[in-house]
Chain A
Amino acid sequence: MALEFRSVTKVFPTNSGAPLTAVSDVSFRVNEGEFVSVVGPSGCGKSTILSMTAGLYQPSEGEVLVSEERVDGPNAHVGFMLQKDLLLPWRNIISNIEFGLESRGVPKAERHARAMAELKHCHLDGFDRQYPYQLSGGMRQRAALARTLAIDPEIILLDEPFSALDAQTKLLLQNSFAKTIAEAGKTTLLITHDLAEAVLMSDRILVLSERPGTIVAEIEVDLPHREEPIKRRVLPEVGEYAAQLFKHLKLEEKAA
């Protein structure tokens, strides 16, 4: 079991006094090598799930386990990526990729070698000496993925990493991420509001309700080409899955 949430509830104190329940009694499991997406309306606590997995804060009730170990702080098992690439503008690409390895006592030469390997995996050969501002948005996200992969995490957390990109770049990047992640065999949790993206990239989709977020549905995506969303995209079943998600999120009722 790569990741497990056991009846997790997270309550935040607020300035107005009334505490805010972000997620309530959430339980799910993610198997090793599986790609699971979490979809839900905005403010349903998707990012809270991610932050608790990364160990940035603790659940109020229940527990989060990564590789059978209780998460009680930031840990080496988890690598995360956000919508913002979070590359350090003062470092060139290669030393950005090395960033996560520096606090782990990896010797300099090995750091560099591993970073160069990830640079290649993410198709950024020749850009090692460039600075983030010299790269396009899609390339910066690929560099961020390389940095995430460099620490060799057991789980990769993706928090809407494609949402700031234009439509074409998004497609290409989803494809290249899916391929790289499949090759590396990494367990992945993708937080997204893009229903099509969830269908194209995942083995399984968890649907969260509005705040306080609870899991209202769990959908197995039984389609081929997980490592190549561009191929999966043309399958007729994709629309059916999206319609299912649509129904679970009660979007029609909201539109009425």
Chain B
Amino acid sequence: MTDATATQAGANAPAATRKRTIPGGLRMDRLNTTVASLGLLALVLLAWQYLPTALDVPKYIIPTLSDCLSELKRMWLYEGLTAHTLSTALYTLLGFLIGSLLGATLGYLLGMSAFWEKVLSPYILALQIAPKVAFAPLFIMWFGYNSVPKLLVTVLIVFFPVLVNVLQAMRTVDRDLINLARAYNLSRLGVFRKIEMPSTLPNLMAGLRIASTLAVIGVTVGELVGGNTGLGYLISYGGGQANAAMVFNAIVLLTVIGFVLYSALVRIENRILHYLPKAHG
């Protein structure tokens, strides 16, 4: 019975259109949550603008929204804000790409060798637990006040979530699928390419999403500790001058960079993992 109904439904409606239709009730739900989210944002912005002055909080503790906006303009005109932002964005992206490439590669290599995984796993665990940002001063001692330390911190911080996710996924690939591929005479490389790689893709993407949020932290810490470029530098510079508005603005811009990277990944993920059944909404 179920078989027959599915046959009819399938024959009448192509999959793509069926998948995209959102029932009316759900569309209303989505609209409601968007309105509520925007309402909340407006409320917070209003409070930010008027509460500090009403409560007599000085500007160097909590600058108001308009203070921040005028400071933003000043930073843009006189502090080279664009260059700082672009530099941070560039190193975030670069660190993210290098770190996740290394993490994924090592994850797949270890996933294919039970021996090396067992040999290396205690060290991987130790390095994973060690606070990566604490390496920043060390890297500066080794490589000097240039862009290498912040890149290294970012690579290091991005590396582990990707590695661990890939390794975990490689361990849990369906044995029966691998047996099927073997019964079809696929080579070891073929099994990797056609079974293991696509099976682990959802976990890899999840690892990349976590890594993208960490990448911003890595770059920021690198810039905070040493160097004279980037939003992290503006934070320590602004902090030194008791310019809270500058710190606020830099934080917001860092968040924007992280958000853009994260959203891009979610879009890529939705595109390549289109074959996973989605919950409605």
Using CB atoms and an 8 Å cutoff, list the residues of chain A in contact with chain B.
51, 54-56, 74-76, 78-80, 82, 84, 86, 88-91, 99-100, 102-104, 126-127, 129-139, 151, 166, 168-169, 172-173
Contacts and interface: CB of A to CB of B under 8 A. Distances in A.
B10 A130 contact: yes
B275 A104 contact: no
Contacts, number: 79
6 contacts: A74-B182, A103-B185, A103-B190, A136-B2, A169-B1, A172-B3
B231 to A, nearest CB: 39
A56 B3 contact: no
A88 B177 contact: yes
A78 B183 CA distance: 8
Contact of B275 (A54, A79, A89, A151): A89
Given A82-B176, A103-B190, A74 B185 contact: yes
B180 A86 contact: yes
A139 B190 contact: no
Most-contacted residue by chain A among B2, B14, B183, B201 (CB, 10 A): B183
Contacts of B177: 86, 88
Contacts of A90: 198, 201, 275
A56 B179 contact: yes
A131 B3 contact: no
Contact-size category for B: 20 to 34
B156 to A, nearest CB: 32
A51 B179 CA distance: 9
A76 to B, nearest CB: 7
A151 B195 contact: no
Interface of B: 1-3, 6-7, 10-11, 14-15, 18, 174, 176-177, 179-180, 182-187, 190, 194-195, 198, 201, 275-277
Contacts of B276: 89, 133
A136 B3 contact: yes
Closest 7 CB pairs of A and B: A136-B6, A133-B277, A138-B3, A100-B184, A90-B198, A74-B183, A131-B275
Given A90-B198, A103-B186, A127 B2 contact: no
B10 A135 contact: yes
Contacts of A173: 3
Contact of A139 (B3, B176, B194, B195): B3
Contacts of B277: 133
Given A82-B176, A134-B15, A136-B6, 19 more contacts: A54-B179, A74-B183, A84-B176, A86-B177, A86-B180, A88-B195, A91-B275, A99-B184, A99-B194, A103-B186, A103-B187, A103-B190, A126-B11, A129-B15, A135-B6, A136-B2, A139-B6, A139-B7, A168-B1
A216 B10 CA distance: 47
A147 to B, nearest CB: 9
A88 B198 contact: yes
